[in-house]
Structure 1
Amino acid sequence: MQKKPLFLAALTLGTAAAVTVNHERGTLNLSQPARRVVALEYSFVDTLVALGVKPVGAALGTAGGDRGTPPYLRDRVQGVTVTGSRAQPSFETMAAARPDLILADAFVHGNVYPQLSKLAPTAAFQSRRGSLDDLNAQTLAIGRLVGREGAARQLLADQRSLLAKARVLARRNAPPFVAAVATPGSLTVHTSGSFVGSFLEDLGRRNQVAVKDGQTQYEISLEGLVALNPQTLVLFTAPDERPITETWKTNPLWQKLAAVQRGRVYEFSRDNWTRGRGPIALKLMVAETIQSRLLQDAAPPTEFGYR
């Protein structure tokens, strides 16, 4: 069961142009829809672009170990001022952009929220640790904040239709999956409360891993993965990295995994799947899920099979 987002409604105030939005840090009142928006998470950039709004600044930098803009977004953010990275936003660059709205991540930017609020009105959402429901609620909230509520509702309606069509392909009673991001140094499982974990559940597959101690994502070892022994394993990797699972492949424990023995290890780009988390990324994810044969619990084709 996906958790309900905290910010379910935005109400008009005294005039038709004024908006109020509830978010993770309280209530944000704007006298009129925002025109100059700085986005500090890729999901916000994705959503703004999908709504036809180009941000005046975005955290697209690579400081602090960030990989930078996901490939699918790069052409869409040409000319946007880089306001540092997600982990290390530049207050000077943000101030120079003269925003009338900052979109922040409640998890990543929690400690600097007071400083952000001094620069401009700031709304904080659970993007990095949010579920599909959370991200959809953000799309609607952002649409209201920038005066594009109608466009946001249409995006969500189109998305529901797309997901419903894909869901028809899901094999009934297919074994549950474990989904995880594999970097060179760690394996992080994405639970039923994460974006990708809840997304795949919405498409008709069951997530084997539930939220743990309030964490929608957490690291596990090879031994921890063996303890789960998934019959279906979904990995998110980067094309320019050697994930830790490559090392694990030489370990007999890896070869004992049911998913490995069944040939049901699927691989997707973590740049597009776990970092974008917006309406544009979701369309790519639906297409790749169908192409991978994951919904049917069939062996993946070469381009989506773990090598």
Structure 2
Amino acid sequence: MTVEIKHAAGTTQIPEAIESAVALEYSFVDALVALDVNVTGVADDGDSANIIASIRDQVGDYQSVGERLNPDLESIKKAEPQIIIADQDRHKELYDELTQIAPTILVKSFDANYNENLDSFRIIGKAVSKEDKAHEAINQHNDTIKKYTNSIELDKDKTTLPIVVTNDGVVAHSVKTYVGSFLEELGFKPALTKEVVENSSEYMGADYLELDYKQLSEVNPERLFVMVEDENSNEVKSLQNSEAWSHIDAVEKARAHFVNRETWAKFRGLVASENIAQEISEINE
């Protein structure tokens, strides 16, 4: 028996009973764990520590299949998947090769906003024949997010900007990105205006915007969520030592919050979203 699944690359027949899956994005790992599907392979960028702590133990042992941007096909074969979950933008050029290994579906992750990631979760749930479980998981997720939303004490009317620090500036996450749209879902007011978005360079062809220090100061957010892997990195120190940093309203008013980049920017799943909402609910000013 098979299940017919419509996705970004067309229609694919998938075995009705899925006992092994390869995930080429972290949000797909999040989804498969929530659906109690055995994840036998993960594009973990070569480091199992990239799997966020709240689900790492649930994933258990798996085959690393290399980088998310460029997964290793031989390693995917070793994982012996019955299904491969791939990103519709990052992996579309690999689709034909992936389908020679196992039935593959392309859904949004990297360039998806919060609600689009929920849609991807629903598709994955149907693909692994756990549509009812996916529906139940989303209902529980919505209840959890509502609970955290109501417990957030921060002033949501302050213009808010989530950023990742780079070597010579920042990458700002607009409201079209996962983090930007999720913060808006929680009730925060976006700092990026349409004009700023239109006059900024896109990062990796997506709705992430490259801003130098001067542009960041011109946006002048009243609240910053700074997504970092290491708060003491050279990139972070360079930003903090820049002339622009001290004049940003969020910095002057002690509303610059340093948060974990893996959880906030890379995972984009139900569990990660709940972790983010919980973390924000625990911040006091």
TM-score range, shorter chain: 0.7 to 0.9
1:69 Cα deviation from its structure 2 partner: 3.1
The aligned counterpart of 2:219 is 228
Q: Is the 8 A contact 2:165 2:235 kept in 1?
A: yes
> Is residue 198 of structure 1 aligned with residue 184 of structure 2?
no
For residues 53-202 of structure 1, the aligned pairs below 5 Å read 53-62=37-46, 68-169=50-151, 174-184=157-167, 186-202=169-185
2:5 to 2, 17, 21: 21
Q: Write the deviation string for residues 65-118 of structure 1: whole angstroms up to 9, x where unpaired.
A: x97433444323321111222123111121233322111112222222221122
Compared CA separation, residues 82 and 231, structure 1 to 2 (3 A): same
Compared CA separation, residues 185 and 42, structure 1 to 2 (3 A): farther
1:45 to 15, 29, 39: 29
Aligned length: 276
Q: Distance in 2 between matches of 1:173 and 1:267?
A: 17
Q: Distance in 2 between matches of 1:173 and 1:266?
A: 14
For 1:235, what is the secondary structure of its paired residue? strand
Q: Is the 8 A contact 2:149 2:281 kept in 1?
A: no
Q: Distance in 2 between matches of 1:173 and 1:273?
A: 18
Q: Distance in 2 between matches of 1:186 and 1:110?
A: 30
1:31 Cα deviation from its structure 2 partner: 5.0
> Is residue 215 of structure 1 aligned with residue 199 of structure 2?
no
The aligned counterpart of 1:283 is 274
Q: Is the 8 A contact 1:18 1:32 kept in 2?
A: yes
Q: Write the deviation string for residues 237-271 of structure 1: whole angstroms up to 9, x where unpaired.
A: 11376152421222222111111111111111001
Residue identity in the other structure for 2:190: N
Q: Is the 8 A contact 1:187 1:244 kept in 2?
A: no
Q: Is the 8 A contact 1:183 1:243 kept in 2?
A: no
Q: Is the 8 A contact 1:19 1:29 kept in 2?
A: yes
What residue ranges of structure 1 are gaps of 5+ in the alignment? 1-16, 294-298, 300-307
Q: Is the 8 A contact 2:23 2:85 kept in 1?
A: yes
Q: Is the 8 A contact 1:72 1:272 kept in 2?
A: no
Q: Distance in 2 between matches of 1:240 and 1:93?
A: 33
Compared CA separation, residues 278 and 51, structure 1 to 2 (3 A): same
Residue identity in the other structure for 1:251: S
Normalised by the length of structure 2, the TM-score is: 0.88
For 1:21, what is the secondary structure of its paired residue? strand
What residue ranges of structure 2 are gaps of 5+ in the alignment? none
Q: Is the 8 A contact 1:20 1:30 kept in 2?
A: yes
For 1:181, what is the secondary structure of its paired residue? strand
Percent same amino acid at aligned positions? 26
Residue identity in the other structure for 2:254: G
For 1:234, what is the secondary structure of its paired residue? strand
More helix by share: 2
Residue identity in the other structure for 1:29: Q
Compared CA separation, residues 253 and 185, structure 1 to 2 (3 A): closer
Compared CA separation, residues 122 and 186, structure 1 to 2 (3 A): farther
Normalised by the length of structure 1, the TM-score is: 0.82
Residue identity in the other structure for 2:245: W
The aligned counterpart of 1:266 is 257
1:253 to 218, 224, 244: 244
1:33 Cα deviation from its structure 2 partner: 4.3
Q: Distance in 2 between matches of 1:79 and 1:227?
A: 47
Moved more, 243-252 or 119-128: 243-252
Q: Distance in 1 between matches of 2:225 and 2:71?
A: 32
Q: Distance in 2 between matches of 1:37 and 1:241?
A: 37
Residue identity in the other structure for 2:70: Q
